[in-house]
Amino acid sequence: MHPRERPTTRRQFLIRAGVTVGALSGADALLSACGGSAKSAPTTTAGGGVLMGPGGIPLARRDHPVTLPIYGDNGPIDSGLNLEAGPLKLYNWDAYINPATVKAFEREFNVKVSVTTFENEEEAIAHLTSGKANFDVWWATVDYMSRAVAGKLIQPLNHSYLPNLKKNVWPALQNPYYDQHSRYSVPYAVYTTGIAWRTDKIAKAPPEYANPYDIFWDSHQYAGKVAILDDQREALGMTLLRRHLYDINTEDPTLINRAEKDLSQLTKTANVKVNVNDYTDLPSGKTYISQAWSGDIAGAPYYLPKGVKPTVLGYWSPAKHAETQNDMITILRGAKQPVLAHTFLNFMLDNKNGIDNFSWNGYIPPLSVIEPDKLVAQGYIPKNLASTIVRESDFNRGVTIDALTTKGQALWQDAWSNFKAG
């Protein structure tokens, strides 16, 4: 199960709680708790149109990579330190790491590991800045990286403890655009957002359309059996991609308003469902067509009724300009086991450990050793769902949901609220 599927995602939390964009969010509380504030670190635009975020850190974009600063009072640990005795405390999304992989780390290093989970980033940030948290490792997302660095919530990494980063990871994610030189993070999993469907229930599959996204707007005959993801950036972003608009981080009011209108058509056309149940509703037949995450559909065969073959499931994402994302692992500034934490990050970047973890959660680690054909041949992925496998070339050609300015967040949130209100 992917973190963005939780019953209350970060963006849903803001909307359902009635929080205005100008109100104190968890991220702003993070800055305040760490000695800054939303007022002292406003979002601005620097020369050349570069968007600025908290602490004067530019907002990262694929065409504008960002090297995150290292502060004098928050440097990396020294090299050559001895491994602590543990326990190692992990703070992760619910159901996002293989328990067997955690046990393997415990056995190899003769330590205990505890896993505490959270349901959304707002919950995580609030807990981490409460003064009561006591964790070593935290799973983060791209849109929180610069805020966590500006708030000095996470510590820089010492790469002498992370040989597997250079040895095993895709080159593109050894030096990611959102954290150049991997100063604060290592990658955990990659995925695409696309379209999933029941091959036995629909007459015309997405790839048969000149524009596969059109299937949603041509689905009147499947009314009540069509779904989009309950995530404003994902759903509205899909309408932009349908129109060949590849800046899915746009803050242009005209484009965002049109995306809202396009999405609203689906309510009239297909009585569209809005949820994050793609991995269960397609197998059960509750939906026939769904916007979906690749990792969910890779694992969807496990939810099929007994006797139903995986060939009833299909998945498509575009060869170019697919929405591709990755999540990452960081070490918290207050980690009491920093060497052990580095060792754990390196452990997760080991080829065998990464693949074992993938076999449980369905989300592919960006390891160069992974060969799509072998994943299919070895039974990790059914042949008909090989399209859920994310290659480095897919990631490099993709588009990514990135952080927005406060103004941009308001535009997207308003459009989403209007759509959901009908």
What integer pLDDT is reported at residue 1 of this predicted model?
Answer: 52
Write down the H helix ranges in 120-207: 121-128, 142-150, 163-168, 171-174
User: Structural domain boundaries of the chain?
Assistant: 10-190+325-397, 193-322+405-420
Reduce the DSSP state of residue 162 to 3 states and report it. Answer: coil
Same fold, 10-190+325-397 and 193-322+405-420: yes
Strand partners, 331: 137
User: Which residues make beta-bridge pairs with 89?
Assistant: 114
Report the distance separating Cα 101 and Cα 356, nearest Å. Answer: 7
pLDDT per residue over 235-282, tens digit each?
A: 999 999 999 999 999 999 999 999 999 999 999 999 999 998 899 999
Question: What is the tens place of the pLDDT at every residue in 154-197?
Answer: 999 999 999 999 999 999 999 999 999 999 999 999 999 999 99
Angle at 229 between CA 226 and CA 394, to 5 degrees: 105
pLDDT at 16: 31
Q: Taking the model in full, what pTM does it have?
A: 0.84
Cβ atoms of 301 and 308 within 8 Å: the answer is no
| CATH label, 10-190+325-397, candidates 3.30.450.20, 3.40.190.10, 1.10.10.10, 3.30.70.260 | 3.40.190.10
pLDDT at 27: 36
CB 413: neighbour CB atoms within 10 A?
18
CA 179-185-188 angle, 5° bins: 115
- pLDDT for the residue numbered 119: 77
Q: Please check whether residue 169 is in contact with residue 186, taking contact to mean a CB–CB distance below 8 angstroms.
A: yes
Question: Which residue carries 């992760």 as its tokens?
Answer: 92
Distance CA 212, CA 217 (A): 10
For 324, the token pair is 């591709």
For residues 106 and 87, the answer to whether their CB atoms sit within 8 Å is no
pLDDT value at position 305? 95
Task: Assign a CATH topology to domain 193-322+405-420.
Answer: D-Maltodextrin-Binding Protein; domain 2 (3.40.190)
pLDDT tens, residue order, the chain (422 aa): 544 444 433 333 222 323 222 332 333 434 333 433 333 233 445 555 678 776 788 999 999 999 999 999 999 999 999 999 999 999 998 888 999 999 999 999 999 999 999 877 778 888 888 888 899 999 998 878 888 899 999 999 999 999 999 999 999 999 999 999 999 999 999 999 999 999 999 999 999 999 999 999 999 999 999 999 998 999 999 999 999 999 999 999 999 999 999 999 999 999 999 998 899 999 999 999 999 999 999 989 999 999 999 999 999 999 999 999 999 999 999 999 999 999 999 999 999 999 999 988 889 999 999 998 899 999 889 999 999 999 999 999 999 999 888 888 899 999 999 999 98
Token look-up 């800046």 returns 247
